[in-house]
Amino acid sequence: MSDLPDSELAFAGIVGQAELIRSGQLSARELTENTLRRIERLNPSLNAFTRILADEAMNEAARRDQHQADGTALGPLHGVPIAIKDENDVAGTPTTYGGAAVTRIAKADSEVVRRLRDAGAVVIGKTTMPEFGIWPFTETAAHGYTRNPWDTGISTGGSSGGSAAAVASGMVAGAIGGDGGGSIRLPAAFCGLFGLKPQRGRVSTAPNRNLWRGLGTLGPLTRSVYDSALMYDAILGTTAVDDYRAEPLPLSFTEALSSTHSPLRIAVSTRSPVRGVSPAPEVVAGVHAVAEILSALGHHVEEFDPEYPDATASFLPQVLGGVRDEALRVDRPDLLERRTRALSSIGRIASSGRVGKAAYRRGERIAHTVNQVFDTFDVVLTPTTPALPRAIGQLEGAGLVSAARKSLPIAAYCSIWNVCGNPAAAVPAGFSASGLPLSVQLVSRPNGELTILALAQQLEERIGWPNFRPPHA
């Protein structure tokens, strides 16, 4: 067993944990045992997991150790415990989508989980999410509130809130999330993590043909940029099942971080893509502080607002149709939350082929307009969310209309890029006066993940956010 203290081992990151195992200083079994102890200690107060796969994880870790002892080639994630958002199939467990309406056991892993296992990861458990990922707050009737490690009275955001809480607290070094309107980036912003939404079609959603009619994609939340790149390299690619396929990239995500990069043209914009939404002063100050860092790094930084058409007529039909698709998969529809049942009912109209195709075509026209900014700039720097992290209990007692009014402004800077399909990342940007994480968003042209990763790594080296640890960890 490594002589590292528990906290140092927990925050060693994917790269550090994998190296400890590869070098023989630590076994996969020992790391998994340590991870389960942390989960046992922290999860009761944070509520990040819906299901902890203790026995399965220990058996998987033992197999990893045997492979290493046998001299078998080791994957890049060999022996590292990883958490999975509960919208992804893990064989032998129900895929609950955050609620109580699914009791059916998944017979096989989803494609993302399969690829993680092929890379050597140990699947440690499944994480909380609002039912079907609808809301930017991880609160459900089935599982209660998920709490933020920086302040347990504060929300983790959503919908990948359990994954964010698990990573931010050091229960795991990496976790899979999903993003249909900001659901990787918003929890990353609330919890002080790095979270990249990849280009549409970059990561398989199989066995599902798509996620929210093309709005959504899957990806990890991590503390460091390199950890995220390492996880992405393990899961990149699609299958014959997938509706969307991104253009191939010239480098792997990790290779992009060691390549030489020229100065970039960066547009700074704090204007909201959604009318009537204004960013808080501390949020604006965080964006400007990051802009100054980028300028000092030699990039050309200029204030410029992209043209943002109203995306409502594209975004909402795809969301409603996606919720309808997922609601039809449950085996106990009587246990769906009241708000979910209402959205699913509305989604009957949006689930028709004619309406869905019209929404997607409108999204393509919006993307053409918005992406004109990349004729001049390489990256757009914006807030990730207009507000500081909100208190828990945002959905308590709220009907559909009230919940929507609270939720839609939170995703104002994120959802437009789901409509367009562009890669976009939440990047930690320090802390508010009250000690809560601040975040900025980096967006690039279609298939521009490598540009975002390289730029985010430069910011990480200056800001040093992987060194920051929350009090509830």
The tens digit of pLDDT for each residue in 279-307 reads: 999 999 999 999 999 999 999 999 999 99
Max Cα distance, the chain (Å): 62
Identify whether 110 is a catalytic site residue: no
Domain count, the chain: 1
Identify whether 85 is a catalytic site residue: yes
Q: Would residue 324 count as lying in a domain?
A: yes
Q: Would residue 54 count as lying in a domain?
A: yes
Catalytic residue among 27, 160, 169, 183: 183
Residue 387 is predicted with a pLDDT of 95
Catalytic residue among 2, 85, 228, 439: 85
Q: Please list the ranges in the chain whose pLDDT falls under 50.
A: none
Residues 99-121 have pLDDT tens digits of 999 999 999 999 999 999 999 99
Residue 7 is predicted with a pLDDT of 81
From the list 224, 148, 187, the residue with the least C-alpha distance to 465 is: 224
Q: Would residue 275 count as lying in a domain?
A: yes
Q: Would residue 294 count as lying in a domain?
A: yes
Q: Would residue 1 count as lying in a domain?
A: no
Q: Would residue 281 count as lying in a domain?
A: yes
CATH number at residue 425: 3.90.1300.10
User: What is the pTM for the complete model shown?
Assistant: 0.97
Residue 2 is predicted with a pLDDT of 63
Residues 130-182 have pLDDT tens digits of 999 999 999 999 999 999 999 999 999 999 999 999 999 999 999 999 999 99
Q: Would residue 472 count as lying in a domain?
A: no
Q: Would residue 411 count as lying in a domain?
A: yes
Identify whether 204 is a catalytic site residue: no
Q: How far is 322 from 208, CA to CA, in rounded Å? A: 11
Q: What six digits make up the tokens of 462?
A: 């200056």
Catalytic residue among 159, 160, 269, 439: 159
Long-range CB contacts (within 8 A, 24+) of 235-240: 235/112, 235/115, 235/116, 235/119, 235/176, 235/203, 235/204, 236/202, 236/203, 237/115, 237/203, 237/204, 238/201, 238/202, 238/203, 238/204, 238/206, 239/111, 239/204, 239/206
Structural domain boundaries, residue 140: 6-467
